Amino acid sequence: MANSMLEFDIAIIGGGGAGIPAAIEVGRAGGSAAVLEQAEECGGTAAISGGGCCIVGTPLQKSHGIEDTPDLAFEDWVKWGGGSADEVWARYYLEHTLHDLYYWAENCGAKWVDMKFQEGNRVLRWHRPENNGLGLMTALIKTAESMPNIKIMTRTGAGKLLTKNGRVVGVTASSNNETIEIFSKAVVVATGGFNSNLDMVLEVRPEFQKFRVMEGSGFGAKGIGHKMIKELGGYLTHMDHIWFYVYATPDYRDPQQRRGLVFRMTPGYIWFNQQGRRFHNESVTGGASATPALLAQNPPHAWAVLDHPMTAKMDVADPYYRRGDVIDHAKVQELLDNSPYIRKADSLEDLGKKIEVDLASFLSEVKDYNDAFDRGLETEPKFGKSLKLSKRFDTPPYYAIQLFPLARKNFGGVKTDLRCRVLNKHFEPIPGLYAAGEVSGMAGGHINGRNGLEGTMLGPSVFSGRVAGAWAAHEAGFGPGFVGKPNRP
């Protein structure tokens, strides 16, 4: 028995990268919406993300002399997706990124500040907002909060979808130990992915059961929305398409020892397998390159070796290790000093002994690497790693950080049509039910395919959130649905 009942035109489950844009669309169409967010504040994984979005044909690209078109981006996207990208959704997204993501986000108060190269792209198109994902989400959340017809309910976890005569008519939720029933004309599920639920990851990727794999998405990415939708007969697709990263180490502060910490910006480090051999160009860290290289090792883990000055650049992608957009170096040092997955020694020889690799191979690899600097080479000969941002290993203490694969992004999920209506196994919409963002494999079910060009998670999540919100509002009697402005000649 519910403690209270509420009524809105649209109920949105999840206040992250897709849920907040969905709310903005409902609000702008004139409908009322409740955003149910289980955490203390909105933002989700999107707020801790790098914020990078794959966007095409922008003023920022033009200011760098880059000519980019949806056609060029589409070719890169489909090729990189390894044959399993949803081409219809990819095309739809890419044509809409300029007006319906870049300018739209600016209009909500975000600012695009720079771009970065990402593997698989022929031009720079990964656009970073000011203050990363937090900056983008802060602007969007403020926009939603300013709308009188949007009610944001934090610390409110959604439980079960409510149905009547085969139609979704609301959702149950709990807040402060009270049960609420929220009735609505349609529900948008925007609960994010499932990469912080190791059991679900191992269920779809059983081959990882024999290795150590870490949970690596936002805290709320537990797959609750997938379960709710599956219960109602929603079709889940490409669930095994998970983007793993390997520059991550277990979070020793996690009592369950399941979470991983990604650390970036360590250009000098080199990686060793347990045989004491380097096996990859460490400056190429993407999910389609570094991940298969590490997984091919026996056992499938590695040691990232750094000397003392290199640790100064270490950026741990977790809110505990940052103050806003600034690295908290004291916390990073705390990690280096305390993690049982990190070894420290005053000589490379002692470090090699501590990590129990083949010592002769280990020392000879470091010597070869250092020789490349002594010879004034621009790249080291073994894998062609550029030495521009790197240095010799010569300043103790030396550190070895143990790396394991980390499940980061879901490229598969709930199948939807181009209106984000959830489809059943007959590919027919379940009345009143919409899904957007990572729960729907970022958009539509599997917009990326096996690999992502980067920026192709948050971008499609925000975009599909808008699409879902606009069409849900339309179904409830508000607005024309999602129209947008495609970037076509």
Binding residues for ligand FAD, rule: CB under 6 A, are 13-19, 36-39, 44-46, 48-52, 157-158, 190-192, 217-218, 220-221, 224-225, 317, 408-409, 437-439, 455-459, 461
CA–CA distance, 222 with 164 (Å, rounded to integer):
27
Q: To the nearest whole angstrom, how small is the minimum distance from the Cβ of residue 318 to ligand FAD? A: 8
**Which of residues 158 and 366 has its CB atom nearest to ligand FAD in the complex?**
158
CA–CA distance, 34 with 17 (Å, rounded to integer):
16
Q: To the nearest whole angstrom, how small is the minimum distance from the Cβ of residue 429 to ligand FAD? A: 20
Q: To the nearest whole angstrom, how small is the minimum distance from the Cβ of residue 105 to ligand FAD? A: 13
**Which of residues 372 and 447 has its CB atom nearest to ligand FAD in the complex?**
447
Amino acid at 332: V
DSSP-H helix ranges across 302-387: 308-311, 329-338, 348-354, 359-374
Nearest CA to 192 among 407, 454, 481?
A: 407
Q: To the nearest whole angstrom, how small is the minimum distance from the Cβ of residue 395 to ligand FAD? A: 30
Enclosing H/E stretch for 92: helix 87-97
Enclosing H/E stretch for 293: helix 290-295
Contacts of 69 (CB under 8 A, 6+ apart): 56, 57
Q: To the nearest whole angstrom, how small is the minimum distance from the Cβ of residue 91 to ligand FAD? A: 18
Q: To the nearest whole angstrom, how small is the minimum distance from the Cβ of residue 155 to ligand FAD? A: 9
Task: With beta carbons less than 8 A apart as the criterion, state whether 39 and 219 touch.
Answer: yes
**Which of residues 37 and 380 has its CB atom nearest to ligand FAD in the complex?**
37
**Which of residues 52 and 276 has its CB atom nearest to ligand FAD in the complex?**
52
**Which of residues 157 and 484 has its CB atom nearest to ligand FAD in the complex?**
157
Q: To the nearest whole angstrom, how small is the minimum distance from the Cβ of residue 194 to ligand FAD? A: 10
**Which of residues 352 and 460 has its CB atom nearest to ligand FAD in the complex?**
460
Q: To the nearest whole angstrom, how small is the minimum distance from the Cβ of residue 342 to ligand FAD? A: 20
Residue 65: phi, psi to the nearest 5?
Answer: 75, 20
**Which of residues 221 and 355 has its CB atom nearest to ligand FAD in the complex?**
221
User: Which residue's Cβ lies closest to ligand FAD?
Assistant: 16
Task: With beta carbons less than 8 A apart as the criterion, state whether 77 and 94 touch.
Answer: yes
**Which of residues 151 and 392 has its CB atom nearest to ligand FAD in the complex?**
151
CA–CA distance, 422 with 329 (Å, rounded to integer):
45
CA–CA distance, 135 with 137 (Å, rounded to integer):
6
Q: To the nearest whole angstrom, how small is the minimum distance from the Cβ of residue 185 to ligand FAD? A: 19
- Pull the structure tokens for residue 19: 């849920």
**Which of residues 19 and 445 has its CB atom nearest to ligand FAD in the complex?**
19
Nearest 5 degrees, angle CA 181-CA 139-CA 108? Answer: 100
Contacts of 120 (CB under 8 A, 6+ apart): 76, 79, 80, 286, 288, 451, 453, 454
Q: To the nearest whole angstrom, how small is the minimum distance from the Cβ of residue 393 to ligand FAD? A: 28
Contacts of 285 (CB under 8 A, 6+ apart): 245, 246, 247
**Which of residues 248 and 400 has its CB atom nearest to ligand FAD in the complex?**
248
CA–CA distance, 31 with 476 (Å, rounded to integer):
8
